Amino acid sequence: MTRQLMTGNAAAAWGARLAAVDYVPAFPITPQTEIIETLAAWFDDGSMQGRMTVLESEHSMVTAAGAAAATGVRVFTATSSQGLLHAMEMIYTVAGWRVPFVLVNVSRGLSAPITLEPDHNDVLAARDSGFLQLHCSTCQEVLDSVLIAYRLAEHSQVRLPIIVNQDGFYLSFTREPVQLPDPKQARAFVGDFDMGGLGFRAGMPESQAVAVLGGSPYSYFRYECHLAMQQALNAYDEIAGEFEQRFGRYHGVVEAFLTDNADYLFVMMGCFATKAKHAVLQLRKAGVKIGLLRPRLFRPLPEWRIRDICRGKKAVAVIDQNLSLGKGGVLHAELTSVLYGQSDMPAIVASFIGGLGGRDISQEEFFHIAEILQDAAISGQTPAPRLLYTQTEFREFKKLQAIAVYERHESKEQPT
């Protein structure tokens, strides 16, 4: 095992290499392209065996990934943002095929307006597709999660594709120290791809999952997918335990940071949670008993574990790096549904939207959220949902608007 500085994109590529993938269908999109470039260089110099093809779109890429996985080969691919949405028709289709493969999504905000920086609306758009979802907060976790993802997706009780998600720019292009597992140990952990009785062969043509079904058989098949996803919860615990035994790092279904004696919790996903952990340490020094709950496995959602951690707390703040237009934060809605009707749950579940399009969340804002939680616990009143946005940012944006209006007016007055 060696330690190297590498980006989140490099960590994702190393995960695919250590899992000894057979096939990589690819299409470039910022900020994911570095993953494909890294794998292409390794295929070119012989470091990796197998085949890589560049398709004409993400739609074709995911189609190729699902079709190849159905033949019994191990498949890896990656995309981001609009690319994931362009492939959405096939995202649902290949999940219905029950073909396991790993797709790394490098989260980037969705158009319009266009941004290259991250939020989670892209990956959460695939929430109900049938793909499992793992969310990472560090480069080390990206590499480890790719290895864990193959074991989980290919588990005999699961057989579903999986998305490993990392934040664009904040992780994809940030170098961190990463423990690189010994290739033989990593290969032994992942094991061989056993497709069971499934596996298309050129000499035995057949169709799969293309029949037009009526309501009852359609309902049966969809519910089977739902039950398979729920089976992933038990399978994940088993796999994460084995990973810890082999490599010394434990990645549970959720990360619970200083939650045992906490009165208050931050709840959030992705790499901004590392900033929340720093805020938790500072707030603890100031006497505020607060902790962090970070769901790592989002589909299926580990409801019992979330309830266990939230039990007895006075108030929690859900910080969503996404925005469901017309509703609010997706994670907030998920959490309130998990806690609803359960005994001894927090009376206050406050909603904050932060980090959209890569907007930073400052330590001062975490401290302010903690103050709001303490006040809400005393008053018993849940604060209204709010967007994290400062007066300074608002004034700067209004200045940009004024400049745009002026420039547009001036351009119309110019003689043609």
Residues 269 and 281: their CA atoms lie apart, in Å, by 18
- CA 69 to chain centroid: 21
Tell me the pLDDT band of 204, cut-offs 50, 70 and 90.
confident
For tokens 């302010």, what's the residue? 368
List pLDDT tens digits, range 51-70.
999 999 999 999 999 999 99
Average pLDDT score over residue span 219-229: 95
Average pLDDT score over residue span 84-107: 97
> Helix (H, G, I), strand (E, B), or coil: what is residue 178?
strand
Average pLDDT score over residue span 275-286: 98
For tokens 């609803």, what's the residue? 340
Q: Are 287 and 296 in contact (CB under 8 A)?
A: no
Residues 289 and 267: their CA atoms lie apart, in Å, by 15
Handedness of CA 95, 58, 70, 18 (dihedral sign): negative
Tell me the pLDDT band of 1, cut-offs 50, 70 and 90.
confident
Average pLDDT score over residue span 152-162: 96
Q: Which structure tokens are listed for 376? A: 């809400």
pLDDT higher than threshold 80 for residue 83: yes
Task: Find all residues with CB under 8 Å of 293, minimum gap 6, and list them.
Answer: 254, 255, 256, 257, 259, 265, 266, 267, 306, 309, 310, 316
pLDDT higher than threshold 70 for residue 25: yes
Average pLDDT score over residue span 111-130: 96
DSSP 60-85: HHHHHHHHHHHTT--BEEEE-HHHHH
Of 140-144, 212-216, 319-323, 400-404, the least confident: 212-216
| pLDDT value of residue 160 | 97
What pTM did the predictor assign? 0.96
Tell me the pLDDT band of 198, cut-offs 50, 70 and 90.
low
Task: Give the amino acid at 116.
Answer: L
List pLDDT tens digits, range 338-393.
999 999 999 999 999 999 999 999 999 999 999 999 999 999 999 999 999 999 99
pLDDT higher than threshold 90 for residue 246: yes
Percent of residues, the chain, with pLDDT higher than 70: 97
Own/partner pairs, 304-309, CB within 8 angstroms, 24+ separation: 305/252, 305/253, 305/254, 306/254, 306/335, 306/338, 306/339, 307/338, 307/339, 307/342, 307/345, 309/254, 309/256, 309/259, 309/265
pLDDT higher than threshold 90 for residue 273: yes
Closest of 136, 198, 147, 125 to residue 171, by C-alpha: 136
| pLDDT value of residue 195 | 77
Average pLDDT score over residue span 33-54: 97
